[in-house]
Amino acid sequence: MNTADLSKGPLAGLRVLDLSTMLAGPYGATLLGDMGADVIKIESHYGDESRHLGPKRGEERGPYLSLNRSKRDLVLDLQREEAQEIFARLAATADILVTNIREPALSKLGLDYEQVKKHRSGIIWIRVTAFGADGPYAGRPGIDFLAQGYTGVLTLNGDPDGAPVRTGFPAVDVMTSLLVSNAALAALRARDLTGEGQRIEVSLLDALMHAQASSIGTWLTTGDRPKRTGNRSLYFAPSGVYPTKDGKHVVITTPGEKFFAKVCRALESDWDTDPRFHDIHARLANEDELDRVMAERTRQFDRAELVDKLVAADVLTAPINEVEDVVKDPQILHNRMIVPVEHPVLGRLDVTGIPIRFYGTPCEVTRHPPMQGEHTREILGELGYAKGDVDALIGEGLVADVADMTRRRDERRARKQG
């Protein structure tokens, strides 16, 4: 019987090396850290690109802080040959490696699968690419926005008569991050049975094709072309965004006759007996008029009053929240999807929580998003390097701790001001 201590989560005792940047790879590694793995983020002196983008809090950037909880941080200059010995020691202790570095840089840094496998034969090696590891688009740079273009998502998003619109949040990156963590867990299962690790490739393109089973998939199976519907549904009505008296909006949708009847009773109308609206086919044929009369009625209520009224009638509805509303939403807070962590410099940080609830091996966000090089000395000490050795490595520029990174930053600012 396995007696592993899982008090810190179901992945406690596993080590993940995060050598990825921006969103899909790092956020996948974050989820593994949330579930208890020891995730070590390995950065160059320049660092993850997300450290240089977006609004700042102190010396840290919002995009980095929001994506990199539950990790430790090591600064290691893998472009230097001498750093490869340090990496070899660390890789020998790892179970999973996540990267999104393209070739030829990947191999030059000693990070392709065969190179890493020499340090740890059972390594589970996961790489995120934009379009795939091989094929006609292999090697191209790419981000979420491009994947939405190639897969046709941009043609499906937005108003029917308007221009294509991308999703307002990086949906493809987030979906890909979930595939990264899912692939890691499946590969761990396989390694438990065979003793063998493996190479895994995940791409933004494939993640978004997977997500379109109901649109592209329907066209493949029936020949029915996907259409841009804005906030409406292709298959039922009413379904959309409706205004309220206080200048806000709510979502109301009715995937079935019983839900339309509930809307009618809640709004004290007899639309379901009107020949124009009495069944789904009539409602779809007269959708503009239906939306007009519904909007007239919803404008008679403030948003909160309307939502309460509709929820009481078991209607499928939701307020369209602004960000200030979202962070106060009682269900989101109850689900612990916003949780505090204590940052050694910035103080309390609120970060998004863990989207999986384990009842046998509960998980908690236990680490703040690390500062660059924050755990360099700690990690190297675990690998057997004495304090004097680490001092020498920092002096040679092979690694860096927070103090060294701060010194470098201050020197850059002084040069710019001079």
Domain-embedded: residue 310: yes
320 Cα distance to chain centroid: 21
Distance CA 275, CA 286 (A): 10
CA distances from 312 to 35, 169, 265, 307, 316 (A): 37, 31, 11, 8, 10
Enumerate residues 6+ apart whose C-beta is below 8 A from 300. 245
Residues 393 and 366 in one domain: yes
Residues 166 and 25 in one domain: yes
* Residue 343 phi, psi dihedral angles, 5° rounding: -95, 135
What pTM, to 2 d.p., does this model score? Answer: 0.94
Distance CA 37, CA 18 (A): 12
Structural domain count of the chain: 2
Domain-embedded: residue 165: yes
Which of these three, 319, 342, 370, is where a domain ends? 319
Distance CA 178, CA 29 (A): 9
Distance CA 326, CA 332 (A): 8
Q: Are 128 and 100 in contact (CB under 8 A)?
A: yes
Q: Are 75 and 400 in contact (CB under 8 A)?
A: yes
Distance CA 233, CA 240 (A): 8
DSSP collapsed to 3 states, 216-232: HHHHHHHCCCCCCCCCC
Q: Which domain holds residue 260?
A: 239-243+249-319
Query: Which CATH number covers residue 296?
Result: 3.30.1540.10
CA distances from 356 to 39, 336, 363, 364 (A): 18, 10, 9, 10
Residues 350 and 314 in one domain: no
Query: One-letter amino acid identity for 233?
Result: S
Q: In what order do the strands lie in the sheet with 124-129?
A: 198-203, 124-129, 96-99, 15-19, 38-43, 72-76, 399-400
Distance CA 268, CA 266 (A): 5
Domain-embedded: residue 29: yes
Residues 281 and 398 in one domain: no
Give per-residue burial for 306-337: e unless 16+ CB within 10 Å, then b: bbebbeebebbbebeeeeeeeeeeeebeeeeb
Domain-embedded: residue 36: yes
* Residue 254 phi, psi dihedral angles, 5° rounding: -140, 75
Residues 88 and 19 in one domain: yes
* Residue 173 phi, psi dihedral angles, 5° rounding: -60, -45
Helix/strand/coil for 315: coil
Distance CA 392, CA 381 (A): 13
Q: Give pLDDT, residue 108.
A: 97
Which of these three, 319, 345, 377, is where a domain ends? 319
Residues 301 and 348 in one domain: no
Residues 176 and 314 in one domain: no
Q: CB neighbours (10 Å) of residue 187?
A: 22
Q: Give pLDDT, residue 218.
A: 87
Q: Give pLDDT, residue 167.
A: 86
Residues 338 and 407 in one domain: yes
Domain-embedded: residue 232: no
Residues 184 and 134 in one domain: yes
Domain-embedded: residue 374: yes
Domain-embedded: residue 389: yes
Distance CA 138, CA 140 (A): 6
Q: Are 10 and 35 in contact (CB under 8 A)?
A: yes
Q: Give pLDDT, residue 158.
A: 85
Which of these three, 276, 291, 319, is where a domain ends? 319
Distance CA 139, CA 335 (A): 40
For each successive 10 residues of the chain (418 residues), what is the average pLDDT?
A: 78 97 97 97 97 96 97 98 97 98 97 98 98 96 94 88 88 96 98 98 97 88 87 91 97 94 96 94 96 97 97 97 96 97 97 96 94 98 98 98 96 88
Distance CA 158, CA 156 (A): 7
Residues 125 and 266 in one domain: no
Distance CA 310, CA 297 (A): 12
Helix/strand/coil for 147: helix
Domain-embedded: residue 175: yes
Residues 266 and 136 in one domain: no
Q: Are 377 and 391 in contact (CB under 8 A)?
A: no
Enumerate residues 6+ apart whose C-beta is below 8 A from 36. 6, 8, 9, 10, 11, 12, 13, 14, 361, 363
Give helix then strand counts, H and E, for the chain: 19, 14
Token pair for residue 238?
A: 């009413």
Query: Which CATH number covers residue 365?
Result: 3.40.50.10540
Q: Which of 243, 241, 215 is nearest to 230 (CA)?
A: 241
Token pair for residue 107?
A: 């191999």
Residues 205 and 253 in one domain: no
Q: Give pLDDT, residue 2.
A: 54
Q: Give pLDDT, residue 181.
A: 98
Q: Are 336 and 293 in contact (CB under 8 A)?
A: no
